[in-house]
Structure formats: C-alpha cells, structure tokens
Amino acid sequence: MRFCSSVYLIQSPHTHYREQAFTASDRVEYRWVLSLNSCKLFIITSPATLIAKFHHQKSGVLNPNRVWAHLEIYPAGQHITNEIFLTFIYVEQI
C-alpha cells in the first residue's frame, strides 16, 4: 500500500491539549486530539465519531492486570490504517 495522502498538520494554541489535523487519501479531514492522558482521532466534520484511540500502558506493583500500550483503530478507520499509524507516530513525536 502506498502512503499517498497530502498531510498537513495544524497545531492548536491551547496548552492543556493539542490538536493536529490531516487530510487522508480518502479526502476526508481527520483531527488528532492529544491531552496529558489520551490521544484520540476524530473526523473533523463529525467530532462524535471516534476513529482511533491510543491506550496507555497500565501497570503497577499491586496491579496484576497489566495492560500493554496499544493503538485501537475502529471500523470507521480500517480503510486508512497505514495513514492513521503514520500520523499517530508523527503527532506523538512533535
């Protein structure tokens, strides 16, 4: 699969969270919303539609139910999985 979207990222001026937007190969605009404890991807025109969510690792000395960090991509985003993954890595690094 070829990564062929024209990605442009817009950073929000808010300090308690960041927003990064990109246009995928399906010509739909998506927005990553990153806060201190969450990272979620939405369609800009339908902010209630969750496309992907990053789950942080949950562990502890007294917690036997360790949950590994993982990126969950919902059915609405299955057709652009590669673009979701690549933009997730990018927005986490900036």
Instruction: Read off the pTM.
Output: 0.75
- Tell me what pLDDT residue 3 has: 36
**Each residue's pLDDT tens digit, 12-56:** 555 567 788 899 999 999 999 888 778 999 999 888 889 999 987
Count of Cβ atoms closer than 10 Å to residue 44 Cβ: 14
Q: What angle do CA 56, 59, 60 make, to 5 degrees?
A: 145
